[in-house]
Amino acid sequence: MARGRPATPLGSYGEINTKELATGRHQAETRLRLWNGDTVRLQARGKSKTAAVNALKTKCAERLGATDTEVLTTTSPVSALMEHWIETKTKIRPQTRERYRNAIDNHIIPAFGNMRINEVTPAFLNQWLHGKTQGVASNARSVLNGAFNMATRYGLIPANPMAVIEPLAVAPKDVRALAVEEIQPFREQIARSKDELLIDVTDFCLATGLRAGEVLALRWEDVDLEHEPPIMRVTGTLTYSKETGHVRQEEGKTTTAGRPIQLPAVAVEILQRRHRKFGEHLEMVFPSGSGTYVWENNLNRLLREARGERFNWVTIHSLRKTLGSVVADELGPHKAADVLGHADSRLTETVYYQRNRRGVPIGEVVDQVLKVSKKSPDNATGQPEVSSEGGIDNSVTSNNGNG
């Protein structure tokens, strides 16, 4: 069976034919395939053959809604687009840049970095993304969407091919929470470690629902124990990236960052005790034994060593989920949604401040659940016995902070 000539790719033109007219001018002609699949015949004229061809190429670009820039052209490789895009992202966080760079260097460029910008189609991207694991696809999608948005703004392509990609399947995060009856046994298990830092941080996370990095970044200037009621503000988090190493990063990503959080009594007791010990000479609330910030990977290591076989599944994030479950059980699912209802939620003003002003006793619920009602088998007083070493020394590990 005879086959016709291959179709011209979308957004490109076929062979350019030229001829000299009777007037001495030159005419160039080609067939241009539009983004909707239609093919049109275009002509352009010039004083010379080269001028006619250049005029025709300009007309094709205009018909496609694309123009070249000094940095990129419509036929630049995708790798050049990726490099230019990441160079323009000057305001993103170091750890975000690291994720984007990983997607570009390890996935996008190896797969189709040599394709031209105007050759990339929605169908190709859709198939490629849906063939990746959830984590790779999600990260790559953010990069590709941003890069092709930029290409669209530059006029290199008429529309972002990512705009019509099918949604990626997102598997729900199955984060297990401690049952109410498990909370005291878990705290008793942690108390057996006799590590003051670990005991206080786990209780503080249970009481506030903050993320580990936020708790470890807490400074005394963020706490007001004289306020009635006592409050704190989340002003930063501890992060790690290859570019910066371990740093305390100022918080400003959400609209709730830096706003007052009313503290439940359990959290206040922890802060008062630690202030008497560290408040006069250290800026951080939860310092290491050497007087520095405790990095999250070190905290995770301590937790793994102390949690025992029964609670070998518990992470710091499990404690955040536990508070949400407690609030749901005591006050209903709508109040729990206020606490953990979206990816960037935290127990900020929305939960402890605004809600309490409307009479929702979330702090009372926390205090009741975390109240020590049983004596620890290792301690006749019912209070955890802890080491007086002031936490851990960050020099004991060189992990990258993702543990």
Average pLDDT, the chain: 79
Report, as an integer, the average pLDDT of 298-317. 93
Q: Give the pLDDT confidence score for residue 29 in this predicted structure.
A: 96
Report, as an integer, the average pLDDT of 116-134. 94
pLDDT at position 358 over 70: no
**Distant-in-sequence, close-in-space partners of 47: CB < 8 Å, separation ≥ 6:** 25, 26
Domain extents in the chain = 12-64, 78-164, 180-396
The residues pairing with 40 across neighbouring beta strands, listed in sequence order, are 32
Cβ proximity of 188 and 377 under 8 Å: yes
Nearest to 61 by CA among 11, 18, 116, 27: 11
Residue-wise pLDDT tens digits, 315-331: 998 988 888 777 766 66
Nearest to 348 by CA among 247, 198, 211: 211
143 burial type by CB count under 10 A (0-12 exposed, 13-18 middle, 19+ buried): buried
d(CA 349, CA 269): 20
Q: pLDDT-derived band of residue 173, with 50, 70 and 90 as boundaries?
A: low
Q: Give the pLDDT confidence score for residue 243 in this predicted structure.
A: 67
The dihedral through the CA atoms of 77, 81, 86, 88 has a sign that is: positive
Q: Give the pLDDT confidence score for residue 10 in this predicted structure.
A: 79
387 or 11: which leads in pLDDT: 11
3-state secondary structure of 354: helix
CATH architecture for the domain at 78-164: Orthogonal Bundle (1.10)
Q: What is the fold of 180-396?
A: hpI Integrase; Chain A (1.10.443)
CB atoms within 10 A of CB 29: 16
Q: Give the pLDDT confidence score for residue 4 in this predicted structure.
A: 62
pLDDT at position 269 over 50: yes
Q: Give the pLDDT confidence score for residue 7 in this predicted structure.
A: 79
Cβ proximity of 220 and 283 under 8 Å: yes
Least confident of 174-178, 301-305, 334-338: 334-338
pLDDT at position 78 over 70: yes
3-state secondary structure of 214: helix
Q: Give the pLDDT confidence score for residue 324 in this predicted structure.
A: 74
CB atoms within 10 A of CB 364: 13
